[in-house]
Amino acid sequence: MQPEPRVRSRDDDDPVNDDEIPSRLERLAARDIEQSAQPAWRRHTDGEQRWPSAVAILLMIGLQLLLPEGLVVGSRWVLPIVEVPIIAALMGANPGRMESRSVPLRRLSLSLLAVASVGTSWAVARLVNDIVTGREIGSAAELLATGGDVWLINVLTFSVIYWEFDRGGPLQRAIGTTHPIPDFLFPQMATPSMAAPDWEPRYADYFYLAFTNATAFSPTDTLPLSRWAKFAMLAQSAISLVIAALVVAKAVNALQ
């Protein structure tokens, strides 16, 4: 009985067929060309820098310190004592671009956002309650200053929320392929021929999104695509509308 012939695998010492080399090279070249033809926000790029969002939260802390005592959580320094060390830790871990994927750093970043959101929610709720219940909150000028302060805190908070969660966050956006469907459709995505080849959304774009949504009470040039993005923009618009309507009405009444 003759032994069965041995089937030689690609791992054996047999040389690769010369006819296969051009086809392999062609496939690799085609893949590289296809990848380079994709817009920057769809392919792997360098990570973003954290400092713009850190500056936004520091500005948010500064605005919270300017609020009247009744609009801050507990003591005036409670939230800054928690937030500033977290910002320092995040900046120390990524002093330049955010390149390393770390679950603890991601959780720390979300914790910072949660603490900042608590301060914003408290300020908005207390301001609305004080106006609705007729509590004395100062002159018309003081009321307008406080209302503008809370309104800007709201804008900064949602700008960081959009930046932190769009397509899984800044690190996932840098990878480019893990979340191919965006949560926000920026104009440069819809018309790539009108954008630079290396364009991709940065924190400034999310701040502009939050600011225009807070002033127009609706999407302007950037559209929310996912449900969470729609509800986040809805919540921000509602908060901005309530602050503007109540503060202006109360200020006008105080002038009479």
pLDDT at position 26 over 70: no
**What whole-number distance in Å separates Cα of residue 165 and Cα of residue 182?**
10
**Secondary structure element (H or E) that encloses residue 185, with its range:** strand 184-185
User: Domain segments of the chain: what residues?
Assistant: 47-255
Q: Which two tokens stand for residue 188?
A: 């440069």
Q: How far apart are CA 233 and CA 219, in angstroms?
A: 8
Closest residue by Cα to residue 244 from 181, 152, 151: 151
Per-residue pLDDT reduced to its tens digit, 125-159: 999 988 888 777 777 888 888 899 999 999 999 99
The stretch 170-188 carries a mean pLDDT of 83
Residue 134, burial from CB neighbour count under 10 angstroms (0-12, 13-18, 19+): exposed
Across 83-87, average pLDDT: 91
Closest CA to 60 of 206, 208, 160: 160
DSSP H/E element including 246? helix 227-255
pTM of the model: 0.81
